[in-house]
Amino acid sequence: MHFEITILGNGSATPTFQRHPSAQVLRVDDRVYLIDCGEGTQMQMGRYKVKSHRIMHIFISHLHGDHYLGLMGLLSSMHLQGRTTELHIYAHRELQSIIEYQMEVSHTRLRYPLVFHWHENIKGHSLFEDDHITVEPIPLEHRIPCVGFLFREKPRPVKLKPGVVEKYRIPYEAIESIKSGSDFTDSQGNVIASIDLTMPPSRQRSYAYCSDTLYNKAIEQKVRKVDVLYHETTFMHDLLERANETFHTTSLQAGMLANNAEIGKLLIGHFSARYSSATPLLEEARMHFPNAEVAEEGMTYAVE
């Protein structure tokens, strides 16, 4: 089953010719989840073959423009393309008024239901779940309320080992109970243990998305041992003061966080427009955490 992330934008607030503002898609099997939707996201989706009709859920971290200004255009295009299926948006409550006001002044009545879920209403640890994944909020520390997202795969079903059905003549009705741990008794009265008939379920994969935030120890706990962490690194560490003023993280800090949290792989992005190349940021992150990569636009990273 696919569990992979495609980067649509890795820049920050000021536009540049090289980078688009934040947006990425997570693909889990045939589901596509959009995470943030900066300006130009729908053009990037076209460029990298992301089909908008497959998106049912959009997660917006916060209401700085570089994380949501592409949303109105995308919603309008979905309407013009004749979409009728429900679309769910997870965001801070003000986004609903912002979108509805734009609809109102343009006399637009969407053909599809748009359902808002406010971050302010999050109770406990779950923001969303379906039969493939759960999404938990990650509290971030930014100039305005900001939430990261932790996507975890749900436990995958136990499977029978290849060939055992034929070998032991297992009737169809017995399969579910073997999968749930019962032993099987064949027609000669031989007992075959469930463990000899089944394969252990695959490991549950996880992906954490931390958009704009100050370096914060609490995040380490939340993203502990995730397979892949995307973390913003807007500045290099010589601009720590600027990072603190604007509630951002340096690449050195993101590397430290990745190392302390014992994650699998770090992807860095949300670079300030002052950096024409991301290489120095990457080198700095790798000082503490060697398995770091730049989240390159158009690239797909498997979560494994």
Report CA dihedral (231, 133, 60, 236) to the nearest 10 degrees. 0
Question: How many CA atoms within 13 Å lie on the side-chain side of 297?
Answer: 22
Shortest distance, CB of residue 132 to Zn ion, whole angstroms? 28
Q: How far is CA 131 from the centre of its chain?
A: 16
Q: Does 64 interact with Zn ion (rule: CB under 5 A)?
A: yes
Q: Which stretch binds Zn ion (CB under 5 A): 64-72, 126-134, 160-168, 287-295?
A: 64-72
Q: How does 8-18 read in b/e, with b if 16+ C-beta sit within 10 Å? A: bbbbbbeeeee
Q: Which is nearer to Zn ion, 206 or 249 (CB)?
A: 249
Q: Does 222 interact with Zn ion (rule: CB under 5 A)?
A: no
Q: Which is nearer to Zn ion, 28 or 285 (CB)?
A: 285
Shortest distance, CB of residue 269 to Zn ion, whole angstroms? 10
**Per annotation, catalytic residue among 29, 36, 66, 130:** 66
Q: How far is CA 292 from the centre of its chain?
A: 17
Q: Does 227 interact with Zn ion (rule: CB under 5 A)?
A: no
Token pair of 54, please?
């497959």
d(Cα 166, Cα 232) in Å, to the nearest integer?
A: 52
β-bridge partners, 207:
151, 228
Q: Does 39 interact with Zn ion (rule: CB under 5 A)?
A: no
> In the 8-state DSSP scheme, what is residue 298?
T
d(Cα 232, Cα 235) in Å, to the nearest integer?
A: 9
Q: Which is nearer to Zn ion, 33 or 68 (CB)?
A: 68
Q: Does 36 interact with Zn ion (rule: CB under 5 A)?
A: no
Shortest distance, CB of residue 60 to Zn ion, whole angstroms? 11
Q: Which is nearer to Zn ion, 64 or 231 (CB)?
A: 64
Selected binder of Zn ion within 36, 39, 66, 136 (CB under 5 A): 66
Q: Does 231 interact with Zn ion (rule: CB under 5 A)?
A: no
- Return the amino acid letter for 274: R
> In the 8-state DSSP scheme, what is residue 69?
T
Identify whether the C-beta of residue 214 lies closer than 8 Å to the C-beta of residue 142.
Answer: yes
# residues contacting Zn ion (CB under 5 A) = 3
- For this structure, is 66 an active site residue? yes
Q: Which stretch binds Zn ion (CB under 5 A): 62-70, 95-103, 163-171, 282-290?
A: 62-70
- Return the amino acid letter for 124: G
Q: Which is nearer to Zn ion, 43 or 63 (CB)?
A: 63
Shortest distance, CB of residue 70 to Zn ion, whole angstroms? 13
Active-site residue numbers?
A: 66
Positions touching Zn ion (CB under 5 A) are 64, 66, 212
